[in-house]
Amino acid sequence: MRMSIKVYSEHGALRDELWPLQRQGVIELVTFPYESKNRKIWCQAVPSAAQIGDLGFVTIGELRCTIGDFSPSDFYSEILRIVSDQNRRDALHIDSAYKSGCKAFLSRDKKDILSKGIELEALLGIRFFHPDDDWNQFLTFLQMP
């Protein structure tokens, strides 16, 4: 039996077709509530270098991690360079996806994330998809062994 693929989804990138894929065990959706909280995604990603101000959408009691988990990966500074330090929360999302072992990342942010997807994929091994524009490519990706 094939293992499900971990897919990081920003809140705004969710679409109804993802839920059956998760129920069937094709994907495991993960996210971290840096900018908004989604109760439909039960798997919380490992946090990156979040600060207390980044946790405005979740209480400490809702976190499924320890304070020691709030550290960046070895690639965080390079992620921040790629997306720009003006987009620190984007870098937190991407680093959380990496730390959580995600193989795909869904985002609607064409300017700051998706336009840099090839460079980020080369660094992290994560494929970046727009949930609408790249839906067919995403489904094809899920079929890969």
Domain encompassing residue 102:
5-143
- Separation in Å, CA 83 to CA 9, 74, 91, 121, 133: 17, 16, 7, 13, 21
Q: What is the DSSP letter of 116?
A: G
The helix/strand/coil state of 27 is strand
- Cα(130)–Cα(88) distance, integer angstroms: 20
H-only helix segments in the chain? 18-23, 76-83, 88-99, 117-124, 135-143
Query: What residue type is 143 in one-letter code?
Result: Q
In sequence order, what are the beta bridge partners of 30?
Answer: 8, 43
Q: Provide the pLDDT for residue 71.
A: 80
Most distant CA pair in the chain: distance in Å?
A: 43
Total structural domains within the chain:
1
Q: Tens digit of pLDDT per residue, the chain (145 long)?
A: 467 999 999 888 989 999 999 999 999 998 876 665 555 555 567 777 776 666 666 666 666 666 667 788 999 999 999 999 899 889 999 999 999 999 999 999 999 999 999 999 999 999 999 999 999 999 999 987 5
Q: Provide the pLDDT for residue 1.
A: 47
The helix/strand/coil state of 5 is strand
The helix/strand/coil state of 52 is helix
- Cα(9)–Cα(76) distance, integer angstroms: 18
Q: Provide the pLDDT for residue 59.
A: 61
Q: Provide the pLDDT for residue 49.
A: 76
Handedness of CA 22, 23, 25, 31 (dihedral sign): positive
